[in-house]
């Protein structure tokens, strides 16, 4: 299970093939050096030829040529949309500030400049509404617009209008009928169309010769996986005149007045809009991507292959049931409706958006599914996929309900996945050219194993506590090195920032990414001991000598990021870096020591203290057949408390607690991931604890233990054997 990896988020970024990687390395290491194409030396001229040949190849990919279209390189689809939003001239006077109003489609007045978009639009399209250089905003559906066009008379308007159309929904994969572009242009000649083709072009051909779109935007990493910082606007020749720029940069002009504001911009469409030097190494790398697609058989072959995988998964999700006959999933997307196998590719792309259901019909939160998928090495997307319009439409979330979610603290990327028993997002599987039927089977096996015919939650039987409880502290643990092994103590100092020296050290990669046991299980074997104001790090296997880190010594100051918090820290030097590399960890990794001037006093992800209970551990021991110590160690808590044999999961209802004379508040429950699958002695992974917790919490979030905050800011002591008094319950 550890070694198998299945990538099912190709709509987020395409996977890169091994042959493509090899070709890319050839470009970098074996080809002649490239140079700035603005320079007239040999390398610059050669680079200019490569850039222009790639433009031609891009146009050929869209079945068009320089006679009809021009290619402008941008950073990505978002930057392309931003450029159009800022520069599009809704009238002959160029962009100017207005106060747009939102109007329904049937109330539109075409004598005022209009920005039109679908509800099913990526956030980057929705963001165009804030440009404030138009009069009215219309947000509608394909069906409403289609009917409106059929009934409307041709419009003669003195101002211009912009229709930003989603070609394929990044939320559910629905493909929209692109013939609507020519139909609406015929009725409203002064309307220009921006086609967001980012989700469409990686897996389906797009012939621009038959589509009267002024601007087509997309990102190359969606097609090839690499390069990531490159996109394009394909401009219909002549319509670049409707983009009015005030700024000009290097390479985009022929002459500028030095004592005035005059400027002669270049005639070439691309160079006029590409300010500064283009990313010529990334542009040259596009040839490797195009070659890879051609080696596969072309984009038509990719479409046939990915749609076959999509149909297979859709069939599994819609035909498989629980033992009681209830469905296991709900699949979203109107592209599936009224389609046959033969014409499905006209209406649907290789994306399946869904939520899993329990046997009683309730929705399984996508966070729970993500964690199980992570355990099986499956990468998929969850949430609203940066498309809140389609998300709310398919999940039937009203504006008032969305506001309630907002008030409850819902944020992009958090673990709030349900609302009043309903989903707040979905799961998305998206296929690419490198996926196989074995990938689909692995996903189906994970779903069948983890989510079909599971027993009802066992947790409800514990949820009966209603009075304060007395117990005692059985264990104190700290982790001087974040993701290192545990150090137990019979007594220890506490403060408002956590246990003294807890998670004061952290290892990062040479790129500054925190290193954890999930990626580097070797960290389990790094033991920690204290000697005065130093921490002694030792390799449990004894292959290398110990490393002493002075906790008072100040080294080079650096900044690091743990979860969502920016923290300042000190680099512990080359000797520490070399020591960890000698353990087999990546070269260039750096050991950081927290700067005590931070408001946050440790490198923990969420809170200052984590507490679990002996009875709760004991219950999981019965479910997993592991030893008590093995289960306790996997949860990496600071405190273990004994509140009696019948107190399992009492911590879930706590609000306030005393350990000795020190008062703590419960701030939240601890949501668990596959970190608890790691045996803290060997570093090996076994899913038994996570699966047991999933079965226990079925229907709720997979939490175990609670986060604590010390009420007093003064330093205190805790000691094993101290009385624990739960003073307030929820």
Catalytic residues: 386
Beta bridge partners of 429: 352
All residues at 6 or more sequence positions from 666 whose CB lies less than 8 Å from its CB, including other chains: 651, 654, 655, 656, 657, 706, 707, 708
The Cα 484–Cα 576 span in angstroms is: 15
The Cα 536–Cα 550 span in angstroms is: 9
Q: For residue 547, give both structure tokens.
A: 């490393």
End-to-end Cα, the chain, rounded Å: 40
| Phi, psi torsion values for 209, nearest 5 degrees | -65, -25
- Burial per residue of 568-587, b for 16 or more beta-carbon CB atoms within 10 angstroms, e otherwise: ebbbbeeebbebbeebebee
DSSP 537: E
* 3-state DSSP assignment of residue 708: strand
Answer whether 314's CB lies under 8 Å from 345's CB: no
Q: For residue 470, give both structure tokens.
A: 């007395």
Dihedral class, residue 337 (left if φ above 0, else alpha if ψ from -120 to 50, else beta) = beta
The Cα 680–Cα 658 span in angstroms is: 29
The Cα 436–Cα 18 span in angstroms is: 15
Report how far apart, in Å, the C-alpha atoms of 608 and of each of 62, 343, 449, 535 are: 55, 56, 36, 20
Which of 238, 179, 239 has the alpha carbon at shortest distance from 211?
A: 179
Dihedral class, residue 653 (left if φ above 0, else alpha if ψ from -120 to 50, else beta) = alpha
The Cα 632–Cα 620 span in angstroms is: 10
The Cα 455–Cα 359 span in angstroms is: 9
Beta bridge partners of 332: 353
Q: Tally the residues of the chain.
A: 730
Beta bridge partners of 493: 717
DSSP 109: -
Answer whether 311's CB lies under 8 Å from 318's CB: no
Report how far apart, in Å, the C-alpha atoms of 194 and of each of 55, 235, 278, 450 are: 19, 9, 23, 43
Beta bridge partners of 430: 9, 351
DSSP 706: E
């Amino acid at each position: 299970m550890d070694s198998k990896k299945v990538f099912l988020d190709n709509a987020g970024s395409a996977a890169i093939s091994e042959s493509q990687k090899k070709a890319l390395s050839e470009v970098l290491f074996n080809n002649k050096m490239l140079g700035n194409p603005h320079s007239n030396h040999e390398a610059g001229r050669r680079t200019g030829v490569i850039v222009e040949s790639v433009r031609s190849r891009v146009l050929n990919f869209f079945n068009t040529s320089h006679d009809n279209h021009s290619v402008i390189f941008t950073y990505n689809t978002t930057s392309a949309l931003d450029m159009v939003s800022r520069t599009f001239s809704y009238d002959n006077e160029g962009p100017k500030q207005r106060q747009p109003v939102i109007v329904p489609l049937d109330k539109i007045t075409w004598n005022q400049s209009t920005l039109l978009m679908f509800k099913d639009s990526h956030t980057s399209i929705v963001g165009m509404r804030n440009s404030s250089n138009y009069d009215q905003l219309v947000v509608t559906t394909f069906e409403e617009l289609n009917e409106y066009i059929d009934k409307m008379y041709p419009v003669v308007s003195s101002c211009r209008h912009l229709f930003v159309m989603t070609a394929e929904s990044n939320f559910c994969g629905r493909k929209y009928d692109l013939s609507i572009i020519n139909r609406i242009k015929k009725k409203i000649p002064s309307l220009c169309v921006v086609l967001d083709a980012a989700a469409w072009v990686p897996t389906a051909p797009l012939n621009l010769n038959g589509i009267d779109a002024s601007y087509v935007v997309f990102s190359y990493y969606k097609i090839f996986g690499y390069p990531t910082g490159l996109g394009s606007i394909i401009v219909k020749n002549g319509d670049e005149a409707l983009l009015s720029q005030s700024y000009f940069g290097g390479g985009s002009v022929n002459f500028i007045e030095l004592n005035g504001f005059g400027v002669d911009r270049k005639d070439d469409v691309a160079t006029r809009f590409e300010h500064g030097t283009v990313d010529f190494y990334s542009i040259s790398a596009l040839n490797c991507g195009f070659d890879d697609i051609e080696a596969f058989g072309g984009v038509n072959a990719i479409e046939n292959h990915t749609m076959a995988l999509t149909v297979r998964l859709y069939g599994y999700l819609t035909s498989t049931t629980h033992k009681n006959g209830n469905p296991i999933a709900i699949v979203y997307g109107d592209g599936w409706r009224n389609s046959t196998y033969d014409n499905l590719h006209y209406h649907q792309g290789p994306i399946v958006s869904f939520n899993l259901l329990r046997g009683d019909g309730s929705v399984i939160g996508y966070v729970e599914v993500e964690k199980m998928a992570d355990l099986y090495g499956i990468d998929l997307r969850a949430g609203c996929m940066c498309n809140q319009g389609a998300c709310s439409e398919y999940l039937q979330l009203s504006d008032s309900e969305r506001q309630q979610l907002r008030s409850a603290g819902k944020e992009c990327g958090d673990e709030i996945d349900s609302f009043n028993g309903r989903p707040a997002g979905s799961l998305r599987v998206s296929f690419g050219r490198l996926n196989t039927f074995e990938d689909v089977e692995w996903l189906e096996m994970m779903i069948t194993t983890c989510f079909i015919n599971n027993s009802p939650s066992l947790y409800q039987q514990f949820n009966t506590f209603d009075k304060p409880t007395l117990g005692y502290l059985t264990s104190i643990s700290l982790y001087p090195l974040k993701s290192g092994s545990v150090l137990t103590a019979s007594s220890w100092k506490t403060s408002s920032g956590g246990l003294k020296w807890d998670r004061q050290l952290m290892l990062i990669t040479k790129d500054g990414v925190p290193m954890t046991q999930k990626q580097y299980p070797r960290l389990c074997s790094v033991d920690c001991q204290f000697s005065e104001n130093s921490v002694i790090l030792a390799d449990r296997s004894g292959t290398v000598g110990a490393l002493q880190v002075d906790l008072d010594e100040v080294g080079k100051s650096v900044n690091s990021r743990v979860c969502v918090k920016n923290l300042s820290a000190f680099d512990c030097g080359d000797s520490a870096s070399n020591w960890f590399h000698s353990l087999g960890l990546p070269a260039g990794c750096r050991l950081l020591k927290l700067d005590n001037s931070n408001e946050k006093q440790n490198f923990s992800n969420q809170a200052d203290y984590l507490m679990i209970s002996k009875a709760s551990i004991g219950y999981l021991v019965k479910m997993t057949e592991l030893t008590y110590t093995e289960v306790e160690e996997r949860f990496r808590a600071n405190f273990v408390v004994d509140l009696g044999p019948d107190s399992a999961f009492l911590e879930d209802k706590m609000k306030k607690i005393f350990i000795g004379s020190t008062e703590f508040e419960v701030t939240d429950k601890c949501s668990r991931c596959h970190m608890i699958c790691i045996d803290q002695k060997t570093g090996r992974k076994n899913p038994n604890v996570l699966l047991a917790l999933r079965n226990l919490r079925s229907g709720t979030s997979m939490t175990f233990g609670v986060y604590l905050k010390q009420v007093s800011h003064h330093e205190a002591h805790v000691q094993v054997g101290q009385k624990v008094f739960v003073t307030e319950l929820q």
